[in-house]
Amino acid sequence: MRLTRPKPALPTKVWKNAPSEFAIGIYTGSSPIAIAPSAHVRNPVFTAADITDFPASFVADPFVARDTNGWYLFFEALNAVTRQGDIAVATSRDGLKWTYKQVVLDEPFHLSYPQVFQWGTHWYMLPEAARSGQVRLYRATEFPWKWAFVTNLLDGAYVDTSLLHHDGRWWLFATPHHSWKTLSLFSSDQLTGPWEPHPCSPIIVNNSHIARPGGRMVVYEGTPIRYTQDDDPTYANALHAFRITSLTPHGYSEEPVAQDPLLCAAGTGWNGLGMHQIDPVPIAPEQWRAYVDGVGAARPAHWTDAAFTNGMHLDGLSVRPAKVRAGQPVYLQFFWTHSQTNATPLTVFAHFGRNRKERIFQFDVPLASGRDYYETLITVPTNAPAGPYEIRLGLFLTQTGQKIPAKGHSCTKGTVRLRRILEVLP
Domains and CATH numbers, the chain: 20-297 (2.115.10.20), 302-425 (2.70.50.60)
- Pick the closest to residue 66 from 292, 287, 228, 279 (CA basis): 279
- Which of 345, 349, 339, 399 has its CA nearest to residue 372? 339
Is residue 207 over pLDDT 50? yes
Specify burial of residue 215 (Cβ count, 10 A radius: 0-12, 13-18, 19+). buried
Is the pLDDT assigned to residue 9 strictly greater than 90?
no
How far is the C-alpha of 20 from the C-alpha of 308, rounded, in Å?
A: 27
Residue range 26-66, pLDDT digits in tens: 999 999 999 999 999 999 999 999 999 999 999 999 999 99
Q: What is the pLDDT of residue 17?
A: 87
pLDDT on residue 258: 81
| pLDDT above 90 coverage of the chain, percent | 89
71 forms beta bridges with: 66, 92
- Over residues 243-272, the pLDDT tens digits come to 999 999 999 999 999 889 999 999 999 999
Residue 234 CA, chain-centre distance (Å), reads: 17
pLDDT computed for residue 340 by the predictor: 62
Confidence grade of residue 8 (pLDDT, cut at 50, 70, 90): very low
Model pTM above 0.85 = yes
Q: What whole-number distance in Å separates Cα of residue 63 and Cα of residue 19?
A: 24
What does the pLDDT read at residue 291?
Answer: 98
- Burial (Cβ within 10 Å: 0-12, 13-18, ≥19) of residue 60: buried
